[in-house]
Structure 1
Amino acid sequence: MKKASLLLSLLGVAAGATAQQRPHYTQYILNNYILNPALTGIENYTDVKLSIRDQWVGLNGAPRTTYFSIHKPVGKSDNKATPTSFLPPGENPRGATYWEQYEASAPHHGIGMILMNDRTGNLNRFTANVSYAYHMGLNTKWNLSAGFSAGISKIGYDRAKATPAVAGDVALGDLNVYISKFRPDVNVGLWLYGPGFYAGLAAQQVVPQKYVVADDASFNKGKLLPHLFGTMGYRFLLTDDINATPSVMMKYVAGAPTSVQYDLNVKLQYRDLLWASGGYRIQDGYSAMLGLNVGNTFNVSYAYDFTTTPINTASRGTHELMIGFLLGNRWGDTCPRNVW
């Protein structure tokens, strides 16, 4: 008898099975807040992001992830004009002069919220979190922040849409048409940032949770496992108008088929206007991204992923769109000061 179902394979509730249980993102390099709560309130304004990601387009039941994030500083005393504000026409707001004048942010707090929905086939996960961070100055150039987020996840499975390989599969038991479980969701992080370098460490699902979906005891071994994310990037000028930011992210999930995975990225930015990025997810695929700042009000970016795994024979790639808004941007910053 086949004991696997989509729910079981994705959550790892079959005996001995585990898998990455958090969504993939390509544009996390533009919104690391989605992975690390320590970025809460890192900028001078309220940062709003909306994103939709369609993974493996062309496959029935392929993953679709959407999220809304918002965060802002609280008690930030250095909300003042920066080198990117009100510059004369023709001067590059992200040139060498800007980084020479860069100063660490004053100590402050940050608050925020994330709403995320991730659907794969008959499985749906909705998460709502609120976050807090404290940013402290280490010296005149560097800041260190620590943050956490907490909320709930609702994980549901629509049995009515399932087609069991074997009628009466004990993995499904006597479940009703739709089953859902609520679980706490707690995440923590650290973020070090300065004029040309950043590094972060975050842990998601830090409180391991059991997830029971079947009547048969042999299937009641599902767990929501902690996920670790390590991030690092370095920014340097190619010319006074163009800068480059190579970065790397390490993801670790204990017990997953590939417990450690690396993302490598290089982002090129022209002034405060336009950026492009290329990336490689080791043993998974390639990505490309293009984005545009529209004044000092909002920005838009698009990413495309191409997988090198066998699934590429049926998939038309992955598309990810993100729109950002800079609210309360009283000093007219045209792009993030501390996240680049």
Structure 2
Amino acid sequence: MKKLYISWLFVLSVMVVQAQQKPHYTQYILNNYILNPALTGIENYWDVKASARDQWVGLNGAPRTAYVTVQGPIDKEDTKTTPTSFQLPGENPRGESYWENYTPSKPHSGIGLILLNDHTGNFNNFTANVTYAYHIGLTPNTNLAAGFGAGINQLHRDMSKTDFGDGVNTDPAQTSGNINKLKPDLNAGLWLYSRDYFVGVSAQQIIPSAISYGNNTAPVTGKAIPHFFATAGYRFLLNDDINALPSVMVKYVQGTPTNPQFDVNMKLQYQDLLWLGASYRLQDGYAGMVGLNVANTFNIGYSYDYTKTALNTASRGTHELIIGFLIGNRYADTCPRNVW
């Protein structure tokens, strides 16, 4: 057991300093803002979301991620297109008549805040970012948004939480294994969206920085590297009550063994009330998702991931929960209009 834990600790160290350094999300399709700051202020209300992710349950030191995001529009002047665009009894508010009358948003700005904490082994990575985006209309049905986020990132390693057996928490090969690094963080993105589709590109952790700890006998060195994302999705109206929303994400992180990484998703939404989804991550595994929109006040989503990798022998899967609140929802939207 001691050897297994030390081996796992070594793997985590390599992951942090050499490969992917940003957490995975299964339900990013419910909050693409966590990947792309261009979505800041995209809706008619302030969107508050909180999420917790417990990855590879049962594996000691496995990643645990939590975040809170808040973002909303500034001087947005959207109006309902017709009296019937408000919900009527017995009518789907996101049915065919709604999308036939879809119009792009007028030029406006948005501001937001992201607080993210990712804990893996004895490493803790905290990020705080303030975001800004500007949205313009390109065609009668299409908007383009550009945004950026700026803030701080703190990487902390606490060797007191490491167990080398017999109560020893100091690596004999390293006299200074603790880390407490504070550095600037910068993200940027573009988001093209309409009534039928969205396409986005973004970059996180744009500013590279060195990471090192240990001593001359057993140094561990690496650097924080940029992460690049490309996402796209399309809306199909299967009938007046059910929307099918397939989407894909491509992620590139220099130094990871599988580059690029692909996620394929399918979301089926019944009116504005209930949705089911499935996801496949290439060379990794599958996920199932379910969610509920409660009136025009809040929404909730849950996902479970099953990995096909060797971790499946020790892990009981991954759980992720996300809760959203719609504040200042003056048009009583029961689900997002521009983010699916």
| Structure 1 and Structure 2 fold alike (TM over 0.5) | yes
Which residue identity lines up with residue 10 of structure 2 in the other structure? S
Q: What SS class does the counterpart of residue 333 from structure 1 fall into?
A: coil
Which residue identity lines up with residue 281 of structure 2 in the other structure? R
Contact kept? 2:213, 2:221, Cα under 8 Å: no
What corresponds to 2:302 in structure 1?
A: 302
> Post-superposition shift, 1:7?
5.3
> Structure 1-normalised TM-score?
0.93
- The Cα RMSD (Å) is 2.0
In 2: Cα distance, 1:322 partner to 1:84 partner? 31
Contact kept? 1:301, 1:321, Cα under 8 Å: yes
Q: What SS class does the counterpart of residue 312 from structure 1 fall into?
A: helix
Q: Percent identity?
A: 60
Matches within 5 A, 1:96-111: 96-111=96-111
Matches within 5 A, 1:107-146: 107-146=107-146
> Post-superposition shift, 1:80?
4.6
In 1: Cα distance, 2:310 partner to 2:82 partner? 49
What corresponds to 2:291 in structure 1?
A: 291
Unpaired runs of 5+ residues, structure 1, are 13-17
Matches within 5 A, 1:41-56: 41-56=41-56
Which residue identity lines up with residue 94 of structure 1 in the other structure? R
Which residue identity lines up with residue 78 of structure 2 in the other structure? D
In 1: Cα distance, 2:334 partner to 2:267 partner? 18
**CA 1:7/1:75 → structure 2, altered by over 3 Å: closer, same or farther?**
same
Query: Does 2:14 match 1:9?
Result: yes
Contact kept? 1:84, 1:333, Cα under 8 Å: no
What corresponds to 1:173 in structure 2?
A: 175
Contact kept? 1:44, 1:79, Cα under 8 Å: no
**CA 1:217/1:115 → structure 2, altered by over 3 Å: closer, same or farther?**
farther
**CA 1:7/1:316 → structure 2, altered by over 3 Å: closer, same or farther?**
closer
Unpaired runs of 5+ residues, structure 2, are 1-5
What corresponds to 1:216 in structure 2?
A: 216
Alignment deviations for residues 53-92 of structure 1 (CA, whole Å, 9 cap, x no partner): 0001111111110000000000112255778863211101
> Post-superposition shift, 1:190?
0.3
Which residue identity lines up with residue 173 of structure 1 in the other structure? T
What corresponds to 2:34 in structure 1?
A: 34
In 1: Cα distance, 2:92 partner to 2:83 partner? 10
> Post-superposition shift, 1:139?
1.4
What corresponds to 1:156 in structure 2?
A: 156
What corresponds to 2:206 in structure 1?
A: 206
**CA 1:129/1:30 → structure 2, altered by over 3 Å: closer, same or farther?**
same
> Structure 2-normalised TM-score?
0.93
**CA 1:140/1:208 → structure 2, altered by over 3 Å: closer, same or farther?**
same
Contact kept? 2:48, 2:70, Cα under 8 Å: yes
**CA 1:122/1:49 → structure 2, altered by over 3 Å: closer, same or farther?**
same
> Post-superposition shift, 1:10?
2.3
